[in-house]
A = this chain, B = another copy of it.
Amino acid sequence: MATIKDVAKLAGVSASTASRALHDSNMISEATKERVRKAMAELDYSPNYAAQNLVNRKTNTVGIVLPVRENQDSLGNNPFFMQIIQGISSICSENDYMVSLATGRSNEELQKNVQTLIRSGNIDKLIFLYSKKGDPIFDYVKQQKVSCVVVGQAYDALTDHIQYVDNNNFQAGYDAAVFLGQKGYHNIVYAYTDLEELVQAERYEGYQSYIKQQGLRDHHLGLSRVDNRANLEKLQSFLAKNPEIEAFIACDDIQAIRLQRLFKEADIANNRYALLGFNNSLITEIANPSLTSVDIFPQELGEEAANLLLKKILQESQTLIIPHQIIERESTASIK
């Protein structure tokens, strides 16, 4: 494998000049840098990062911290994480950074893995793909000298100096309700699976804000992720008590498809209620009727998190908001 000396010789400069050119030093002219770059390309030269890491105490890897998964499916079935990781990877690749992952089946395992990453000396930049209050792993990382960006909500925005990238889920819930209102629907239900989950709760609060503004009635319906029988009974009794219902905002696309299935089981025409989901996932096109859904652009969340971390873009606010967009399909035709 070629050394920096080979590069220097081919470029007709000293080894120290080649090294400075390689590190983009201001002391070296653009013309010389170009000569060195050409020689590097010709010799297929790659600097020995590991050796440099020891000397510089600087590294070229970004670590991604995934949330703890309680069961096998929880992450795998959420296409978000893969899309966010893709976004991060593509920006890292452009900037010649490598990407490492920290995962865990428990808080303890995840913390151990994050510690290993940091102590290995290979990582000094991390992106968290979750945020939660009082997270010991996040607290540990803040104590270390590690640059950090969080994809998620800024809980401690006033006390820490970390940057956040997030959707505005409150606004997304509000906009979904406004969209249905403009289509002529006034009796709208928010259907969720777990309001302890921040994203579901925020979308609900956005919905509530619109409902209050308009002097409408707040309807909400919790459905189980597993028990279809109980869901059917719950839905039927809910609709019997609230015959004025015209539309549903589901906490995500999976929940919307669950509702379509329940409508069918309850012998309700598939266009009886307007229906809207979140995530704009692949199933929205296949749903019947095809599903209007709010796209929240997970790949962009990842890209912007990596941009903030690598390019140290200055921004006024601590949280960079990735805009959402309602993708209109058949499930929200204007009221008849």
Contact of A82 among B81, B109, B287 (CB under 8 A): B81
Residues from chain B with Cβ under 8 Å of A258 in the complex:
286
Beta-carbon contacts of A246-284 to B below 8 Å, as 1s and 0s? 000000001001101100110000100000000001110
Q: Cβ of A3 < 8 Å from any Cβ of B?
A: no
Contacts beyond the supplied A77-B281, A79-B79: 16 A-B pairs with Cβ under 8 Å:
A1-B119, A49-B119, A50-B122, A61-B100, A72-B86, A75-B83, A77-B282, A78-B82, A82-B82, A85-B103, A90-B103, A93-B109, A98-B120, A100-B100, A258-B286, A265-B288
Given contacts A50-B122, A86-B103, A298-B76, contact A261 B286 (CB under 8 A): yes
Contacts of A80 in B (CB 8 A): 76
Q: Does A28 contact B (CB under 8 A)?
A: no
User: How many residues of chain A get a CB closer than 8 Å to chain B's CBs?
Assistant: 64
B286 close to A254 (CB less than 8 A) = yes
In the complex, are the beta carbons of B98 and A104 less than 8 A apart? no
- The residue of chain B having its C-beta at the shortest distance from the C-beta of A228 within the complex is B285
CA–CA, A72 and B72, complex, Å: 24
User: Does A116 lie within 8 Å of B46, measured CB to CB?
Assistant: yes
Q: Does A115 contact B (CB under 8 A)?
A: yes
* Main DSSP-derived SS at the A contact region: helix
Interface presence of A167 (CB below 8 A): no
Give A290 Cβ to nearest chain B Cβ, in Å: 8
How many identical subunits does the complex contain? 2
CB distance from A263 to the nearest CB of B (A): 9
Of the candidates B54, B82, B103, B288, the one whose C-beta lies within 8 Å of that of A261 is: B288
* Distance between Cα atoms of A122 and B112 in the complex (Å): 20
Which residues of the partner chain B approach A104 to less than 8 Å between Cβ atoms? 93
- Is the CB–CB distance between B283 and A264 below 8 Å? no
A1 and B80 alpha carbons, distance in the complex (Å): 37
Residue ID in chain B nearest A69 by CB atoms: B86
- Contact B98 A100, beta carbon cutoff 8 Å: yes
A184 at the interface (CB under 8 A from B): no
Q: Which of B53, B75, B228, B287 contacts A86, CB < 8 Å? A: B75
Please, how many angstroms separate the alpha-carbon atoms of A121 and B122 in the complex? 11
Task: Return 14 A-B CB contacts under 8 Å, by A number.
Answer: A1-B119, A48-B121, A60-B120, A75-B83, A76-B299, A85-B101, A93-B112, A93-B113, A98-B116, A261-B286, A261-B287, A261-B288, A264-B270, A265-B288
